[in-house]
Amino acid sequence: MTDTAQHSTDNLTTVVVLFGGRSSEHQISCATAAGVLAAIDRTRFRIIPVGITRDGVWVLEEDDPEKFRLNPENLPEVVDNGTRIHLPDSAQHRRISVSRADGSFEQLGNIDVVFPILHGPYGEDGTIQGQLELVDLPFVGSGVLASAAGMDKHYTKILLEAAGLRVAPGFTVHAHEWATEAEAITERVASEIGYPAFVKPARAGSSVGVSKVKEPAALAEAMAIALAEDDHILIEQGIDGREIEIAVLGSRRGERARASVAGEIIVDNAEFYDFAAKYLDDSAVQLSCPAEISDAQLTEAQDLAIRAFEALGAEGLSRVDFFLDEEGFLVNEVNTMPGFTPISMFPRCWQESGLPYEQLITELIDVALDRTQSR
């Protein structure tokens, strides 16, 4: 960076937009980055786009939203371009630099805040958050504990139940248990949960590895699919209800978190809201926002969403997913780094609540900076 370029951006807040990663949700993270890079307020923020390849290599990426747009025929990806990012190695400074394959080295300036739009393991699960906290770098979103708990559906359910929130009946199976006790587990599903049941990797998102199982004969295949993603598998009762989502936004200086209007997932041409329905097949589902629920139901869902957010100790943002059945609301998941493309439910719910995408990005960064200053 030239001295002139450095001086021209001195009054801007430097944001490292961190995306890609080692998880199976790598491409969704890239698509989210495209949305953020396109919409972020360039009059306030200077952007340093940092990609993480599937092999875990940190590279300086192009500040080009079009490169990472979600395209079903060519999903975006971070590739090794020969650059290497060097983060601060202590809490005494916030300098970030890059080295290149030709041997050159460049200081990129001081980091003010990191926006880690990483999904799944090695990004949304507390690992990156711990790395950033270790060198005292402010970042958007939840800290280590909430990120780890939100990533693991087993522990999410434990925390939600402890907070008095209703969740779907189910139990967790470890890989070694399935290897030696498959018949007993199959019988347990039939006696305790019934069919249909959902088989989910405990630590994966975007419905990767999730199967809807309608009969005992299909359980083994569903377990194999889930075990390819994780060795802890959650088997839950299928809930016959509407899928309602609330976006939660952290507040500043000890104020309570805020909840958006509700959105609804209406599944038309898919068994459930799986990866393909979420990202590749627009005809499979409808995303309705605001959802057609009563004012009383909205108030209840907003309160439950904030309670779930607080139960995990979440910060910054989360999307809380519910089922609404004859008995009321049931918490399905808490996503501490939800899908954040412009058409994703989290920003859509805030758009309908009066907070447009660009302003939402600004608010998340401001909340992260405020949280750091108040500690």
- Whether 321 has a binding-site annotation, put simply, is yes
For the four alpha carbons of 357, 358, 361 and 362, in that order, the dihedral sign comes to negative
Q: Confirm or deny that 237 is annotated as ligand binding.
A: yes
- 192 labelled as ligand-binding? no
Residue showing tokens 């290897």: 179
Residue 374 assigned ligand-binding role: no
Write the burial class of residue 208 (CB in 10 Å: 0-12 exposed, 13-18 middle, 19+ buried): buried
Report whether 28 belongs to an annotated binding site.
no
Active site residues: 25, 206, 344
In the β-sheet with 95-99, what is the strand arrangement from edge to edge? Answer: 84-86, 95-99, 105-110
Task: Judge whether 238 is annotated as a binding position.
Answer: yes
Is 243 annotated to bind a ligand? Reply is yes
Q: Where are the alpha helices (DSSP H) in 152-294?
A: 153-162, 175-188, 219-227, 275-279
SS3 state at 333: strand
The answer to whether the annotation marks 335 as part of a ligand binding site is yes
Calpha distance 128→183 (Å, rounded): 39
CB 111 within 8 A of CB 88: yes
Give the pair of three-digit tokens for residue 118. 């990483």
200 annotated ligand-binding residue: yes
Is residue 332 annotated as involved in ligand binding? yes
Binding-site sequence positions for ATP? 153, 198-200, 206-207, 236-243, 332-333
For the annotated binding site, the residues are: 153, 198-200, 206-207, 236-243, 321, 332-333, 335
Query: Which residues are annotated binding-site positions for Mg(2+)?
Result: 321, 333, 335
